[in-house]
Amino acid sequence: MFAAPCLALAIRPRIDLGAHPRHDRPADSQRRAVSHPRPLALDHAELGRALAGSADLLIIQDLDGVCMGLVDDPLTRHLPRRYVEAAGELAGHFFVLTNGEHVGTRGVNALVEANFDDPAEARHRGCYLPGLAAGGVQWQDRFGRVSHPGVSAAELDFLASFAAAAETFLDHCLAGPPFALDAATRAPLIAAAVLDNLASPTLNLNVFRRHWQATPERYWQLQEAVVDFMQARLAAAAAAGLEDAFFIHYAPNAGRDDSGQERPRLGTAEGTTDFQLMLRGAVKESGVLAILNRYYQARTGVAPLGETFDARQAPREPQALLTLARGHFDPALMPTIVGVGDTLTSVSTGEGDPPQRGGSDRGFLTLVQQLGRAFTRPNRVLFVDSSGGEVARARVDAERLARHASDPSVSPWPALAGISDPDDPLRLDVIFSGGHTEYVDFFCELARQRRASNPAPQV
C-alpha cells in the first residue's frame, strides 16, 4: 500500500497563487537565479539543487523510456512506486506529455494501480499522473478524471475501428509471402503488436523486430507494408468524411518532409517501431501550450488562451506556436520549464547533405528551449538515454562526454551519434546516460529536496 504522501496531497487545501498581488511574488531577479550548466552536462546533483530552489517550476515529461524502460510489449512495463509518490509531491509543478495513453489495457493508469492492494486507492488518494496523453488530446488530472478536449464522437468512433482493421491486415499479410507465418506463430505476435488505444491506436512492431533478429530484412519488409496500411487508414477516414482529421506518427522518425509529413525510418535496427494513427493537432509541442494555459489558470484564475483552448486549436507551424505564447502569456508569471524526453534522432543521409532530424520528443523539447529564450527563463532540456531497454536506440557515449567536460577540445558529437549533431538547433542541457533508473533517482531526490524546503501545511 502507498503511505502518507499521496493521501496528504489528496486532502491538502488548494492554494490560490493568483490571489497574491503581483508585488508579493518573488522578485524577477530571484526567479532568474537558476543558472545554466554547460550543455551536455552529466552533473545531475547540480541541476537538482538549482531546480529545488526554483520559485516557479514546471516539469513537462515524456513517459516511456524516461521513467520506465522501453519494452517490446507495453503490458510488461513497470512504473516504480517511489516515482509515483514523487510525482504526487510535485503536484501542480509536474505534468506528463506522452504519445501513449492514460487509459485502456495498455494505459499508464494500470501501471499506477499495480502499486496498490486496492486499485481504487489510486483515485481516492490522487496518485495518477496528471497531464496530456495521445500526443496532447487526452487530458487527465491526478484523480484519474479523463477528457478529450476538441475531439468529436465521429473521430473517436473511427479510431475505435483501427484495432480490428489492423488485426485483419496483419493476419492476411503475415500468412502470405514473403513471411508465410503459420496461424499459431502469428496470433501471439499480432496480439502484442496491435495496441487498441482509445485516442492513438498503434501498431508496435517491436515483437516482430525481435522475432526476425536473424533475418532483419523480413522486419524491414513488414515496416513497408505497415506504412501502406497506415496510408490506407487515412484514405478510409477521408472517405468517411473525416479528411484532415488524422495524421500518422512514426516513432522514431527521420523528421518531416517538404509537405510537413513525418518520414518513417525504414531498413535499420534503430528504425521506426511505432506506427500511430493520431488526431490532427495531437503533437507534443501543441501540448506544451495547453499545459502552460492550465498552469497559468491554476495560479491566476485566468486561462491566457481561453478556458476551452486545446492542443488541436494550436497553430501547426513551430514559429507560430512561439508567437502565440509570446502574445498571451504574462512574462512575469512564466515558470522555469524543464522538458524531459528520450526520443531524438539525427541521421546522415549522404555526404554533404544536412542530417534528417526527428524523434517524437524533438518538437516539444525545442519549444521548451525557445520559450526559455523568448521569456528570459532558465529552461532546461533533459535527455534520458533509453538504449538500455528492449527497443533498439542510439546510445550515449558517457565516457566521451565526461572527457569533453574536463577537456573542451574533445568533440562531444561522436558521443551523440544518431541522436544529435554539431548543427542541431536543439541543445541538450543535461543527459542521463544511465537511463530511466538514473532519472527516477534524480526525480525522487528533487521531490525530497523541494518537500524539505517547502513542507506541506498541517491539515
**What is the distance between the alpha carbons of residues 383 and 385, in angstroms, rounded to a whole number?**
7
Q: Would you say 89 and 450 are in contact if contact means Cβ atoms under 8 Å apart?
A: yes
Measured distance between the N- and C-terminal CA atoms of the chain, rounded to whole angstroms: 22
DSSP state of 376: T
pLDDT in 10s for each residue of the chain, 459 residues: 334 445 333 333 332 333 333 334 444 444 444 456 678 999 999 999 999 988 899 999 999 999 999 998 888 999 999 999 999 999 999 999 999 999 999 999 999 999 999 999 999 999 999 999 999 999 999 999 999 999 999 999 999 999 999 999 999 999 999 999 999 999 999 999 999 999 999 999 999 999 999 999 999 999 999 999 999 999 999 999 999 999 999 998 988 888 889 999 998 878 899 999 999 999 999 999 999 999 999 999 999 999 999 999 999 899 999 999 999 999 999 999 999 999 999 998 777 788 999 999 999 999 999 999 999 999 999 999 999 999 989 999 999 999 999 999 999 999 999 999 999 999 999 999 999 999 999 999 999 999 988 755 433
Per the omega criterion (within 30 degrees of 0), is the bond before 21 cis? no
Indicate the Cα dihedral angle 58, 361, 68, 133, nearest 10°.
Answer: 70
C-alpha cell at 34: 537558476
CA–CA dist 266, 367 (Å, integer): 27
Instruction: Please state the domain extents for the chain.
Output: 27-143+284-453, 153-198+201-279
β-bridge pairing 57-61 and 336-341: parallel
In angstroms, the CA 323 to CA 329 distance is 10
Q: Hey, which residues does 146 pair with through a beta bridge?
A: 140
Residues ≥6 apart with Cβ < 8 Å to 274? 99, 202, 203, 204, 205, 249, 250, 251
